[in-house]
């Protein structure tokens, strides 16, 4: 009878230990939104007070996964090649943008935007660098933008993932005057990601706009450490609704801006992808520069 009690005690103890080790009822659980990535490329702790929205509450309305070869899909992308400043580009940029495959192409599952050192003449103007500037043929108001990209490493390159109000009516853009003709900065600009040519360990998230009440130019934004941005893919995100606009890198908040009535962020915007050379944020271009490539794994736009 004593042996029976001992055996029963061992069995009960084993059951208790097994159930305790498998229980999760008292554990802290971090709910990682779909699409969230961290610096090492995998979902992990999210430190921002404002978490990205769950994608299961959103609807995908525009995307390019770049699962094809050759030129960027002409149904989705427009080449902007005419410089709006009498054949030049603003901000003292040093390149011509072209529609040539030497400057943009899709291969091995990614879009490549390739800046090159080469003499190139367009409309009688010769420059020493070429690159590509793509406009999406899709405009949207509010939603979530995701662009997974790896940035160019050479100094002097100025990569950008950004939006402009479709009512800008800028020379050579896709929409022309279809949505209006208010110009810049009245159209509003959202810089989801920019990077300086002299600092490849930091990226910027900024807003530029014309005050809807006074017309005055205004700007606001922040920088964020972004080590490994030229070696690994990172996720650049915009969340935009009637109340707020938030820019993230890998689900870490870069900057939040309230969407009040003195700002023009209630109109359709389109997406731009480009690599500029030199200029305000590109800075000095090293004599050793030959080429720099921004790779884009995918572009996705969701409605709220």
Let me know if 189 is a catalytic residue. Answer: yes
Let me know if 102 is a catalytic residue. Answer: no
Cis amide linkage into residue 91, ω under 30° from 0: no
Say which of 53, 194, 231, 232 is annotated catalytic: 194
- The count of other CB atoms within 10 Å of the CB of residue 248 is 27
Tokens 């996705």 -> residue: 300
- Report CA torsion sign: 95, 101, 102, 106: positive
Say which of 53, 146, 170, 189 is annotated catalytic: 189
CA separation for the pair 158, 247 (Å, rounded): 18
Which residues are the active-site residues?
Answer: 189, 194
């Amino acid at each position: 009878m004593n042996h029976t009690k001992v055996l029963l005690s061992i069995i009960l103890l084993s059951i208790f230990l097994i159930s305790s080790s498998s229980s999760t009822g008292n554990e802290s659980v971090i709910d990682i939104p779909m699409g969230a990535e961290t610096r090492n490329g995998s979902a992990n702790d999210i430190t921002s007070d404002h978490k990205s929205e769950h994608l299961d509450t959103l609807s995908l309305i525009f995307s390019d996964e770049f699962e094809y070869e050759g030129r960027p899909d002409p149904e989705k992308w427009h080449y902007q090649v005419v410089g709006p400043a009498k054949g030049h580009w603003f901000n003292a940029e040093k390149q011509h943008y072209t529609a040539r495959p030497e400057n943009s192409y899709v291969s091995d599952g990614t879009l490549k935007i390739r800046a090159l050192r080469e003499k190139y003449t367009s409309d009688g103007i010769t420059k020493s660098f070429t690159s590509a500037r793509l406009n999406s043929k899709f405009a949207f108001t509010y939603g979530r933008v995701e662009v997974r990209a790896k940035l160019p490493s050479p100094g002097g390159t100025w990569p950008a993932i950004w939006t402009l109000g479709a009512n800008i009516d800028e020379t050579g853009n896709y929409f022309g005057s279809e949505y209006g003709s208010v110009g810049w900065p009245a159209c509003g600009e959202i810089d989801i990601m920019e990077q300086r040519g002299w600092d490849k360990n930091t990226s910027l998230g900024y807003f530029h706009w014309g005050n809807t009440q006074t017309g005055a130019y205004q700007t606001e934004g922040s920088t964020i450490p972004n080590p490994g941005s030229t070696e690994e893919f990172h996720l650049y995100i915009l969340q935009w609704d009637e109340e707020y606009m938030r820019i993230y890198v890998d689900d870490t908040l870069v900057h939040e801006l309230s969407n009040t009535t003195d700002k023009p962020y209630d109109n359709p915007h389109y997406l731009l992808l480009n690599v500029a050379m030199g200029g305000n944020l590109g800075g000095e271009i090293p004599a050793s520069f030959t080429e720099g490539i921004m790779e884009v794994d995918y572009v996705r736009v969701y409605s709220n």
